Chain A
Amino acid sequence: MIVHPDGSRCRLADATPKKLHSVILAKKQISDTITEMEVYAPLVAASALPGQFVVVCQNEKAERIPLTISDIFPQRGSVSIIFQAVGRSTIELSRMNAGEEIMSVAGPMGQPSVIERFGRVAVIGGGVGTAIAYPVARALKASGNHVTVIVGARNKDLFILTDELRGFADELVLITDDGSSGKKGFVTDALRELLEKTAFQRVLCIGPLPMMKAVSDLTKQYSIPTVASLDPIMIDGTGMCGGCRVTVGGEARYTCVDGPEFDAHLVDWDELKKRKAFYFEEEKRQRDIALTGQ
């Protein structure tokens, strides 16, 4: 069933393509660079689960970019995305406003996060990765896990969703690189402290690549099953191009259809880092264009 923003419904067979267009329903600037948008995307909202993502293409000439779904509102046919304006595409997307139309929001892509009753779980979000960690952590809590959330950021202005997380997490640890809020240090420092005291059955980490690798290296020492949500370069998101392939346990896997979550201990992090850096110069040039207009 297609749910229209006004709550009315129709069968897919009776749907009009025009009425499915992805209108931005609400926009909230969470920090200088982090934006939250609720987007009308009834086909995504009807079937999305925590951990899945959408591929967004802002307009005819834009890139297709994968953005994780941070919240799902099936009753009004919409999903939320939270993203950081780091490159030209995200900067330009962040300049759009409620009422405007994004050309393309396709999904839900990828495999949902594995939500089971594991016992004691640590969910670690770094920077904007917290937006992805949030729905997964909430689902883990709802499945009866004891959930500790560790959120790391460079400084206190970059924290997102702190109130929402505090609402359900059994324990919330905030840590900043500069000590401007919560503890001073990295998420791995906070995690190590916890692991010394308590046994965890599972760790989930989502954030910048070096952070995920560091978490993975740490939990390996404690033999705790650890999952990382990866964000390599991607185009279609449907398994067509193979651009997002990563080596996991010696095998090439497609992040878009097999992931985005993989066993962190088996990921070839160095290879992923190199693949992500492939367009570095071009990305920098485009970012400058977006910021300066030339």
Chain B
Amino acid sequence: MTQQTPMPRQAPEKRIHNFKEVALGYTEEMAEQEAGRCLGCKNPSCVKGCPVGVDIPGFIRKIKEKSYVEASFIIKKTNSLPAVCGRVCPQENQCQKHCVLGAKGAAVAIGRLERFVADWESENACAVLHKPKHHSLGKYHVAVVGSGPSGLTVAGTLAPLGYKVTVFEALHKTGGVLRYGIPEFRLPRDVMDREIDYIKALGVKIIKDAVIGKSAGVMSLFDEGFDAVYLGTGSGTPKLLGIKGENLSGVFSGNEWLTRINLMRAFRDDYLTPFPSARRVVIIGAGNTAMDCARCALRTGAEKVTVVYRRSREDMPARKEEIENAEEEGVKFVFLRNPAEFLGEDALEGVRCAVMEPGEPDSSGRPRPVPVEGAFETIEADCAVVALGQNPNPLIRTTTRGLKMTRWGGIVTDPETCMTNIPGIFAGGDVVTGEATVISAMGAGRRAAKGIENYIRETYKQDF
């Protein structure tokens, strides 16, 4: 078999009317069939492509043996959020990119298998738990700021070793970008809750509504009994275009659009957060966030959803799979158009775009979009969503004196230990790298956990 075992999905005409998961997951038979394709390489290259180094051939072997609990045990050794990763990781650029089968046909569908194992574990209620090993480490406290993928990974890695970990979350729900950023049709809430429950079962305390930097300063955490602090505050401040009319009613940032839907669940009648009933929605940008915004717009009743991108189709940064999903669902794409002004009197009426053409390659290697002299086009819209990405949240930066930052507002860390210039303070994920993937944030979380562990052992040498 040179092809991947396909995964059943909800039909487009059905799914645009609900927020249920689009991809439905493998059955046991499908998982076995797909696992059977894995060659079980002695020197597996797929593992090198995984930022958290999951023993991929190891867990796939267990699927072949139908030992799903053991498969889960292997995954959870290095990955505290397998059900999330199996769904949202861009495997095609990571583990699966390195799969030797990929050279001749299609790589093993590693992500789908990971998801299968995680879901099987939950459906069969046999939660695999890595219990704390060294109870003597319980006198060391680690504060994790932010309950997104990197923070949860630090917590999920240190707690089983015996450290006491407290996670601080500014919002009223845990998960960070997994909760407010990723829609339920890609990552269902119960899956998310399950992963959080696992982290809690490891003994991690989660304190919500705690805005570190405001409720308590970063440096004060040392006085409050913590021996090390991890900053995983993500990149949560929207980038806007800075063009005329951007503050008109009806113009949203991608973050606001998604927060209303995902965190505040405005799509449900029984939730109170308001959401505009827009007929025509324009989404600006072509990354995964833009695809999510567009698909949310369809599901909340928009008749026409148009993605506007200043470059060409082949330059879109979104995952291919997400673009296909959006197209199947009826999202329209307009390329080589760059918003110049939001038009409207009391509220948005349209987006005036400059017509662009591809020019010489820029620093990213893609053709630089150049405006065609005097050529403009207006797209009518009741709502526009600016989904161009995010900058790091400034709360920590502006309230922590002496913390070394980059010019763009990211935190500077030692790439190996993830420690900042202030001893005992570590950082990782988007707040260090700028916007990246869930799994790369988790990779940083694992490195940081190692760095924190070494730091504590070094600082309290006499105890060890």
Chain B interface size band reads 35 or more
Given A47-B215, A235-B264, A247 and B238 contact (CB-CB distance below 8 Å):
no
Q: B248: which A residues are within 8 A, CB to CB?
A: 271, 274
Contact with A along B307-345 (1 / 0, CB 8 A): 000000000000000000000000000000000000000
In the complex, whether B171 has a CB less than 8 A from a CB of chain A is yes
Q: B276: which A residues are within 8 A, CB to CB?
A: 278-279
Which chain B residues have a beta carbon within 8 Å of chain A's beta carbons?
141, 143, 164, 166, 170-172, 180, 205-211, 214-217, 221, 224-226, 236-238, 240, 242, 246-250, 252-253, 255-256, 259-260, 263-265, 270-274, 276, 346-347, 393-395
Least Cβ distance of A284 to chain B in Å? 11
**A278, closest chain B residue (CB):** B249
**B257, closest chain A residue (CB):** A241
B166 touches A235 (CB 8 A): no
Least Cβ distance of A58 to chain B in Å? 9
Least Cβ distance of B212 to chain A in Å? 9
Q: A114: which B residues are within 8 A, CB to CB?
A: none
A235 touches B172 (CB 8 A): no
Select A106's contact among B180, B209, B225, B242, beta carbons within 8 Å: B209
B256 touches A252 (CB 8 A): no
Select A279's contact among B208, B238, B242, B274, beta carbons within 8 Å: B274
Given A107-B215, A242-B256, A252 and B246 contact (CB-CB distance below 8 Å):
yes
B211 touches A242 (CB 8 A): no
Given A13-B166, A57-B172, A275-B247, A239 and B274 contact (CB-CB distance below 8 Å):
no
Contact with B along A255-294 (1 / 0, CB 8 A): 0010000000000100100110111001100100000000
Given A57-B172, A88-B272, A247 and B247 contact (CB-CB distance below 8 Å):
yes
Q: A12: which B residues are within 8 A, CB to CB?
A: 143, 166, 216, 221, 224-226
Could you list 14 examples of A-B contacts with CB < 8 Å?
A12-B221, A13-B141, A44-B215, A106-B210, A108-B214, A236-B170, A238-B395, A241-B238, A252-B246, A268-B247, A271-B248, A278-B249, A278-B250, A286-B274
A11 touches B225 (CB 8 A): yes
In the complex, whether A76 has a CB less than 8 A from a CB of chain B is no
Q: B208: which A residues are within 8 A, CB to CB?
A: 17, 104, 106
B209 touches A43 (CB 8 A): yes
A64 touches B172 (CB 8 A): yes
Contact with B along A126-159 (1 / 0, CB 8 A): 0000000000000000000000000000000000
A15 touches B394 (CB 8 A): no
**B207, closest chain A residue (CB):** A17
B274 touches A274 (CB 8 A): no
A104 touches B247 (CB 8 A): no
Given A12-B216, A283-B274, A241 and B394 contact (CB-CB distance below 8 Å):
no
A105 touches B259 (CB 8 A): no
Inter-chain CA distance A14–B164, complex, in Å, is: 9
Central interface residue in B180, B209, B210, B224, by most chain A CB within 10 Å? B209
B272 touches A239 (CB 8 A): no
B253 touches A242 (CB 8 A): yes
Inter-chain CA distance A243–B272, complex, in Å, is: 17
A271 touches B180 (CB 8 A): no
Q: A176: which B residues are within 8 A, CB to CB?
A: none
Least Cβ distance of A90 to chain B in Å? 11
Least Cβ distance of B115 to chain A in Å? 27
Inter-chain CA distance A252–B207, complex, in Å, is: 32
**Other A-B pairs beyond A235-B260, A278-B249, A278-B250, 18, CB < 8 Å:** A11-B225, A12-B166, A12-B216, A13-B224, A13-B225, A15-B166, A46-B216, A64-B172, A88-B272, A235-B259, A238-B170, A238-B236, A238-B395, A241-B259, A257-B395, A271-B247, A271-B248, A282-B274
Inter-chain CA distance A279–B215, complex, in Å, is: 31
Least Cβ distance of B65 to chain A in Å? 40
Q: B216: which A residues are within 8 A, CB to CB?
A: 12, 43, 46-47
Central interface residue in B237, B260, B393, by most chain A CB within 10 Å? B237
Given A12-B224, A278-B276, A108 and B215 contact (CB-CB distance below 8 Å):
yes
Q: B242: which A residues are within 8 A, CB to CB?
A: 252
Contact with B along A238-255 (1 / 0, CB 8 A): 111111011100001000
A240 touches B237 (CB 8 A): yes
Select A43's contact among B210, B264, B271, B394, beta carbons within 8 Å: B210
Select B224's contact among A11, A63, A245, beta carbons within 8 Å: A11
In the complex, whether A61 has a CB less than 8 A from a CB of chain B is yes
In the complex, whether A34 has a CB less than 8 A from a CB of chain B is no
B166 touches A62 (CB 8 A): no
Q: B238: which A residues are within 8 A, CB to CB?
A: 240-242
Inter-chain CA distance A17–B206, complex, in Å, is: 7
Q: B224: which A residues are within 8 A, CB to CB?
A: 1, 11-13
A235 touches B256 (CB 8 A): yes
Least Cβ distance of A72 to chain B in Å? 13
Select B272's contact among A1, A22, A63, A242, beta carbons within 8 Å: A63
B-contacting residues, A81-129, CB 8 Å? 88-89, 103-109
Q: A242: which B residues are within 8 A, CB to CB?
A: 237-238, 240, 253, 255-256
Central interface residue in B207, B214, B255, B259, by most chain A CB within 10 Å? B214
A63 touches B205 (CB 8 A): no
Select B255's contact among A20, A62, A241, beta carbons within 8 Å: A241
Q: B273: which A residues are within 8 A, CB to CB?
A: 63-64, 235
In the complex, whether A16 has a CB less than 8 A from a CB of chain B is yes
Least Cβ distance of A111 to chain B in Å? 10
B249 touches A236 (CB 8 A): no
Q: B237: which A residues are within 8 A, CB to CB?
A: 239-240, 242
Q: A238: which B residues are within 8 A, CB to CB?
A: 170-171, 211, 236, 393, 395
Inter-chain CA distance A16–B215, complex, in Å, is: 16
B247 touches A243 (CB 8 A): no
Select A61's contact among B205, B211, B270, beta carbons within 8 Å: B270
Least Cβ distance of B281 to chain A in Å? 15
Q: A278: which B residues are within 8 A, CB to CB?
A: 249-250, 276, 347
Inter-chain CA distance A236–B173, complex, in Å, is: 11
Least Cβ distance of B224 to chain A in Å? 4
Least Cβ distance of A48 to chain B in Å? 9
Q: A109: which B residues are within 8 A, CB to CB?
A: 211, 214
